Amino acid sequence: AGAELVRLRRVPRRQISKLNTVNAVSEHKRSSVGGEPRCVKISSLLRTLGLAMKPEPPPVVLASTSRYRRALLERLLPAFSCQSPDVDETPLAGESPAALAERLACLKARSAAGGPAIVIGSDQVPALGSQVLSKPESLEPAMAQLQACSGRQVVFHTGVCVIGPGGTAERFHMDRTIVHFRTLETAEIRRYLEREEPFDCAGSFKAEGLGVVLMERIENEDPTGIQGLPLIWLANCLRSMGVPLP
């Protein structure tokens, strides 16, 4: 018996684990009378071994073609798909910037909802007072925007809507970021725009890039909110819907 114990200690731990698993399977496959094999359900066998399979998490669809939102979501998920939302983004009469961001985020998510995937829709509306700031598309409109923002504050309303598989469990969150601009000279505005070319960004600057040099300070709860997709809230929401995140 002593020699057998010594020999057992020399067996690698991984091999012992495999032997134990094989023994458990063998015992489970034998009947209580005569040791004859009997049919065993795979699910029952896996439960016996503590290896019950977990359901696959639902796929995720980002209802956006924005390269900025896609890059942000890639920080959370290794795989997802993007779908272009067919949504008219024209503001309604008398609609506030925050209400516009909420309505468009929900419309974008609903445009791709109803299938087996979790769908994410988001929209951002920056406002200088009651004036909505759009994407400038070229140098001169961007110059005019930043000159208007000089020495003032701009509020970025970023709405995100998440809808569960089958169009169920719709959830919404609004992120609010306040950017306080320095007093800017025309020459430095032009130098900034020529260097970074943020013409596809509402507000005419990139907070995640060189645009920080235009700011005096910023107020927010989520640093990714101003970039177009508040990841702190989104990560918690996806986790509650069964998406595994660290």
What are the residue numbers of the active site?
123
H or E stretch including 215? strand 215-219
Closest CA relative to residue 121, chosen from 134, 111, 132: 111
DSSP 8-state secondary structure symbol assigned to residue 146: H
CA quadruple 44, 50, 52, 55: dihedral, nearest 10: 160
Closest CA relative to residue 175, chosen from 159, 161, 162: 159
Bridging pattern class, strands 171-181 and 215-219: antiparallel
Q: Where are the alpha helices (DSSP H) in 30-157?
A: 42-48, 67-73, 97-112, 139-149
Closest CA relative to residue 162, chosen from 47, 74, 62, 70: 62
